Structure 1
Amino acid sequence: MRVDMAFRLLIYTNLCNMLEIYCLDLGSVYIKSKEAPAKDVLKDLVEMCRGVQHPIRGLFLRSYLAQVSRDKLLDLGSKYEGAEDTVMDAVEFVLQNFTEMNKLWVRMQHQGPVWVKEKLEKERSELRDLVGKNLHVLSQIEGVDLEIYRDTVLPRVLEQVVNCKDELAQYYLMDCIIQVFPDEYHLQTLETLLGACPQLQLTVDVKTVLSRLMARLSNYAASSVEVLPEFLQVEAFAKLSSAIGKVIEAQVDMPIVGAVALYVSLLTFTLHVHPERLDYVDQVLGACVKKLSGKPKLEDIRAKKQIVALLSAPLEKYNDIVTALTLSNYPHVMDCLDYETNKVMAMVIIQSAMKNNTCISTADKVEVLFELIKGLIKDLDETATAELDEEDFKEEQNSVARLIHMLYNDDSEEMLKIICAVRKHIMAGGSQRLPFTVPPLIFSALRLVRKLQDQDGNVVGEEEPATPKKVFQLLNETIEALSSVSSPELALRLYLQCAEAANDCDLEPVAYEFFTQAFILYEEEVADSKAQVTALHLIIGALQRMNVFGVENRDALTHKATGHSAKLLKKPDQCRAVYACSHLFWVDDQNGIKDGERVLLCLKRALRIANSAQQIANATRGCSGPVTLFVEILNKYLYFFEKGNPQITSAAIQGLIELITNEMQSDSTTPDPASDAFFASTIRYIQFQKQKGGVMGERFGPIKV
């Protein structure tokens, strides 16, 4: 009996559905016959559909009504003969159908037990397009102009959206309004549309709705410059900013990421529509700071990414970090970031500057810039230093070093202020950072010194001007700080660079001081034998290029160089350093530095050390080492012989050649193809000089090979 009743009910339901659809089709045909005004027929059809209160059946029935009546909706321009319908009748029909469909759609959530609520919500979500099609139809009616939309359509739709108090319906319908109606309409009715946002349920994702609205308006502004005055006229920025503030205030439980996302969208809109209004940009940043102030450092990864996007937007828009430096709230937003995210944003800033080849040319801007990137130039979080990735750290510090090279001003006074500002910041970087950041600062200062070479610093004025002496004093203090953080080799190199610059400026006391500091570092800090060899050769090379020293200072420095050369740990290193010192006493391009006797003394001393090395090798290994050192000394003899040193004679060269030949023919000498080839090349060179003739041929003539 129950099965029979259920079967009868199913048949009855299907018959009702068929009858309803038949009535709708009949109404459609009747409208086409033009025997009655379309508005009356449509009104009757709407009333007929009210009899179906089952949510799903009612939705599909009204959706079918909207479909069959779509081409019957008349606008002001299309009239049948004797027709009395207007566009307002069409609008009223669609609005009534939309209202009833939305009520049915919302009612679906209350059909069925609680345990199937999730399933019902999924079904509701799948049926949402049935309701939204009504708004799509409204947007396509030609007669719906801005006036009708502003006075009738939008208020009625928003009233239904707010009153339904359903999260899914409110979110979908607000998004639908934004997507289907023209951008021009949104702009002219912005205040009305935004006024509904704070009235939505607290669980509605208003940030996405507003973000999409601002995205559409941004694209509309970018489509033509002719529409920009409209944005100014309606005060779009002020209305959007106010609406966002009200939404955030109303939704007290809105996550930080949601609030920041709204400010990102507002900033994007501002940069598209009002790029010249930096005060608007700063206002958005200030509002974000206000929201974040008083809260602990962000831990939400999504919120961090949103803030990075917020701070990156002005850089991408203006392609000029200098513009961002003028925004007073920019540093305050940076302060809201944790240590790691602060470093990420600092790298974005530096990369922007390098990409656009931006020159920061004032000390004030440098102060702001280095305050922004402080996460890279000093430890903000001591607990994070132990977890540094070496490769990432090197990349970060190399980026800072490249940035320092981009700080420049043609005015010497301002450039000195820039150098002082940079120095103040990087000196707090610690022992790990200074080896990366000090060298570029030193070379920037040396570039300033070259520019100031002609100034003597005797200018009288209220403020002491930038002079080489003043810069050198700053350099000395800076390198001294570097030498105290376990980078003596680097500090020594920088001292020598400064000494050469002082030489070019004809400042003998300054150059001597830098050499003195270099020797002190060598004696007290450079302990590794290989590092000592490298450092000593650097000192000798730099000293050779000096022409500022008087006899007394030069003798003191050369004496130190030769003394340290003879004290190196390994005999071969001693030999090479000693014969390198011979160049300190014979410099072609400087008058008065041609002391042939001391050159010969250095070479003879090197020869004794080489012979000692051979004897040690013979005693320890039972055979002599290669003759490479002797061949190298022979080449030094030949060099000074060609330069005209009277102390270097052909007989001395002949004796050295015979010594090398005997050593090579000795059974106790270790064969070495490299040494043999080196000696053979030297002999060929002597033969070439003899065959060349002229003065040089006569000088090389007595040498027998």
Structure 2
Amino acid sequence: MHGIQSLHVLKGPVREKEKREKERSELRDLVGKNLHVLSQIEGVDLDMYKDTVLPRVLEQVVNCKDELAQYYLMDCIIQVFPDEYHLQTLETLLGACPQLQSTVDIKTVLSQLMDRLSNYAASSAEVLPEFLQVEAFTKLSNAIGKVIEAQVDMPAVGAITLYVSLLTFTLRVHPDRLDYVDQVLGACVKKLSGKARLEDGKATKQIVALLSAPLEKYNDIVTALELSNYPRVMDYLDNATNKVMAVVIIQSIMKNNTYISTSDKVEALFELIKGLIKDLDGSPVDELDEEDFKEEQNSVARLIHMLYNDDPEEMLKIICTVRKHILTGGPKRLPFTVPPLIFSALKLVRQLQGQDGDVVGEDVPATPKKIFQLLHQTIEALSSVPAPELALRLYLQCAEAANDCDLEPVAYEFFTQAFILYEEEIADSKAQVTAIHLIIGTLQRMNIFGVENRDTLTHKATGYSAKLLKKPDQCRAVYACSHLFWVDDQDGMKDGERVILCLKRALRIANAAQQMANVTRGSNGPVTLFVEILNKYLYFFEKGNPQIYSAAIQDLVELIKTEMQGDMATPDPSANAFFASSLRYIQFQKQKGGIMGEKYESIKV
């Protein structure tokens, strides 16, 4: 019995509320129709609306003190009267807003008003002077400030929504007034000041909308970088959303192929995307999803190539600015961000190729030497990661660039650093094989070194080659070293004696591998090594190396045939095909005739 009585008690207020809302809805429809009729009456022109109709209607709205009624009436006024009337009576209409009940959904009313005015402005270029004449932006901005001040309990999302609407209005009506856009962002910052980062998802979404609007309007991040309050608004985003917004900014740059061409703008840009550049508020990078993290850092790497200026001095400033920021990124980020910076700097080096000058102080003009010093320090940062294989590759790239700039001491220093990394940091056997071939390949392309420096480096390279863990790897690295002593376009680098020493050493290693063939044999086994060495003999034979005799090639051919036909031989189709192709080549050269044909004549295949 008691429960039934309680239910009746509860139902009473519910029914009463439903009844009130129904009455209000009917009243709204009635008032709305009356206002609509009023707007259609002949004789209700702008002057009558301004002097009589609007003041009387607004007086009724303010005095009724009912939040729903006030909202309905304001909404009706905005919907039924012409846009031109609203523009010409903006101050009067907006003046009523702060006087409404604090619980009125004024943000929706004002948003609808601004949306109507935006569409009106877009309808014809002829009406734009009217907006300037009545100072529509200033009036709307002041009104929003007063409403937010009057409604002290308005949640952050409500205030931000108002600023989004105002910004949308500004971008459509006054796209050339960046000061207006920055003013809106500044007002938003003022409203949010004193608050921690927003945790409210709806408010965060509105801030993203606020920040995205200028990017979408201008399609040019450079314009957004001129807005001093843009980064201050971003600071109120939580870390995850901050990074999402940073990615949106980078995507805008890539999509519009926008080059950022001054160090000041690069500084401003990196302030915007700092959520991708370093850990914010101690958020450890280990907590991030690995795939998301890689994609974020790859986007930063792509961005670095969009920072460019033809002027070497400004470009060097840009490189220094980027370097300052990315070196704060920590060990997980550096392997992604250091390489594009290095290649950007090397591009500048190529531009300055041929210029020289000692590095003295910070004010020295951009010279290759100065940039190489910066590159050396930057690659060193990878040692803390550690990423020795990546650092070694970058040192070798720099060595090659220094070679082209005719800077022997610099090139030698980069090679020295690469060798130190190889000796002290690269322990994995596969990584060693890759590294030694990179070293040999780079050294082969160098033409700047004097006899002493070149001998030191080639001696080290051949020594490391012979110490690789697996015999086949040793063999291939050693015969690759033969090219260090015979470079076609350099007369001073044709040492036939040292070439043959490398090839004979490779043969000895291949023979040693053959001794172990009973234990391990496969497609990359000893016979393949012999065929590879045969091809090296043929290469240098054709290049005119006086130490390579046709008899030696003949002996090698016979050795391979014997190995392939031996009792212990395991069928190896790829090696057989490789050898058969080599023999066909010898036969082809013999049949071709001429001087080369005569050289090959004594070789029997």
Matched AA of 2:295? E
Give 1:119 deviation, angstroms.
2.4
Matched, 1:536 2:536: no
Which of 336, 343, 354 lines up with 1:436 in the alignment? 336
Q: Deviations over 1:125-158 (max 9, x none)?
A: 6533233111222222233210111122212222
2:222–2:260 Cα contact (<8 Å) kept = yes
After TM superposition, the structure 1 stretch with the greater mean CA deviation from structure 2, 248-257 or 477-486, is: 477-486
Q: What SS does the corresponding residue of 2:518 show, helix, strand or coil? A: helix
Which of 364, 373, 388 lines up with 1:464 in the alignment? 364
Structure with bigger gyration radius: 1
Matched, 1:671 2:571: yes
Q: Distance in 1 between matches of 2:250 and 2:17?
A: 49
Give unmatched runs, 5+ long, in structure 1: 1-111
2:403–2:447 Cα contact (<8 Å) kept = yes
Look up the match of 1:248.
Answer: 148
Which of 207, 230, 238 lines up with 1:338 in the alignment? 238
After TM superposition, the structure 1 stretch with the greater mean CA deviation from structure 2, 575-584 or 217-226, is: 217-226
Q: Distance in 2 between matches of 1:625 and 1:560?
A: 26
Give 1:619 deviation, angstroms.
4.9
Look up the match of 1:143.
Answer: 43
After TM superposition, the structure 1 stretch with the greater mean CA deviation from structure 2, 536-545 or 336-345, is: 336-345
Give 1:621 deviation, angstroms.
7.3
Matched, 1:178 2:65: no
How does the TM-score come out when normalised to structure 2? 0.95
Q: Distance in 1 between matches of 2:199 and 2:19?
A: 36
CA separation of 1:621/1:673 partners in 2, compared to 1, >3 Å: closer, same or farther?
closer
- Report the aligned-residue RMSD: 1.8
Which of 211, 220, 225 lines up with 2:125 in the alignment? 225
Matched, 1:119 2:29: no
2:523–2:575 Cα contact (<8 Å) kept = no
Give 1:451 deviation, angstroms.
1.1
Q: What SS does the corresponding residue of 2:104 show, helix, strand or coil? A: coil
Which of 250, 267, 272 lines up with 1:350 in the alignment? 250
1:457–1:466 Cα contact (<8 Å) kept = no
Q: Deviations over 1:631-666 (max 9, x none)?
A: 111111111111111111110000000000000001
Q: Deviations over 1:177-220 (max 9, x none)?
A: 11111110000000111111111111111001101111111111
1:495–1:515 Cα contact (<8 Å) kept = yes
CA separation of 1:352/1:446 partners in 2, compared to 1, >3 Å: closer, same or farther?
same
Give 1:345 deviation, angstroms.
1.4
Moved over 4 A (4+): 458-462, 619-626
1:615–1:624 Cα contact (<8 Å) kept = no
Matched, 1:264 2:127: no
Q: Distance in 2 between matches of 1:624 and 1:398?
A: 36
Matched AA of 2:15? V
After TM superposition, the structure 1 stretch with the greater mean CA deviation from structure 2, 283-292 or 616-625, is: 616-625
Matched AA of 1:413? E
1:575–1:629 Cα contact (<8 Å) kept = yes
Which of 597, 612, 618 lines up with 2:497 in the alignment? 597
Q: What SS does the corresponding residue of 1:383 show, helix, strand or coil? A: coil
Q: Distance in 1 between matches of 2:139 and 2:307?
A: 41
Q: Distance in 1 between matches of 2:390 and 2:521?
A: 38
Report sequence identity in percent.
83
CA separation of 1:458/1:425 partners in 2, compared to 1, >3 Å: closer, same or farther?
closer
Matched AA of 2:116? R
Look up the match of 1:191.
Answer: 91
Q: Deviations over 1:38-75 (max 9, x none)?
A: xxxxxxxxxxxxxxxxxxxxxxxxxxxxxxxxxxxxxx
Q: What SS does the corresponding residue of 1:456 show, helix, strand or coil? A: coil
Q: Distance in 1 between matches of 2:137 and 2:525?
A: 85
Matched, 1:645 2:545: yes
Give 1:330 deviation, angstroms.
1.4
1:625–1:670 Cα contact (<8 Å) kept = no
Q: Number of residue pairs matched? A: 594
Matched AA of 1:245? G
Matched AA of 1:586? W
CA separation of 1:511/1:155 partners in 2, compared to 1, >3 Å: closer, same or farther?
same
Look up the match of 2:475.
Answer: 575
Q: Distance in 2 between matches of 1:459 and 1:569?
A: 42
How does the TM-score come out when normalised to structure 1? 0.82
Alignment of 1:139-538 (within 5 A): 139-457=39-357, 463-538=363-438
Give 1:121 deviation, angstroms.
4.9
Look up the match of 2:5.
Answer: none
CA separation of 1:608/1:122 partners in 2, compared to 1, >3 Å: closer, same or farther?
farther
Q: Distance in 1 between matches of 2:386 and 2:139?
A: 59
Matched AA of 1:395? E
Give unmatched runs, 5+ long, in structure 2: 1-10
Look up the match of 1:29.
Answer: none
After TM superposition, the structure 1 stretch with the greater mean CA deviation from structure 2, 129-138 or 187-196, is: 129-138
Give 1:271 deviation, angstroms.
1.1
Give 1:623 deviation, angstroms.
13
Alignment of 1:15-94 (within 5 A): none
Look up the match of 2:561.
Answer: 661
Q: Deviations over 1:605-637 (max 9, x none)?
A: 111111111111225679995511111111111
Give 1:259 deviation, angstroms.
0.3
After TM superposition, the structure 1 stretch with the greater mean CA deviation from structure 2, 473-482 or 357-366, is: 357-366
Q: Distance in 2 between matches of 1:465 and 1:374?
A: 29
1:536–1:577 Cα contact (<8 Å) kept = yes
2:511–2:526 Cα contact (<8 Å) kept = no
After TM superposition, the structure 1 stretch with the greater mean CA deviation from structure 2, 329-338 or 640-649, is: 329-338
CA separation of 1:653/1:174 partners in 2, compared to 1, >3 Å: closer, same or farther?
same
CA separation of 1:564/1:118 partners in 2, compared to 1, >3 Å: closer, same or farther?
farther
Look up the match of 2:455.
Answer: 555
Considering Cα pairs closer than 8 Å and 6+ residues apart, tell me whether 1 or 2 has the greater RCO: 2
Give 1:124 deviation, angstroms.
3.9
Q: Distance in 1 between matches of 2:379 and 2:353?
A: 21
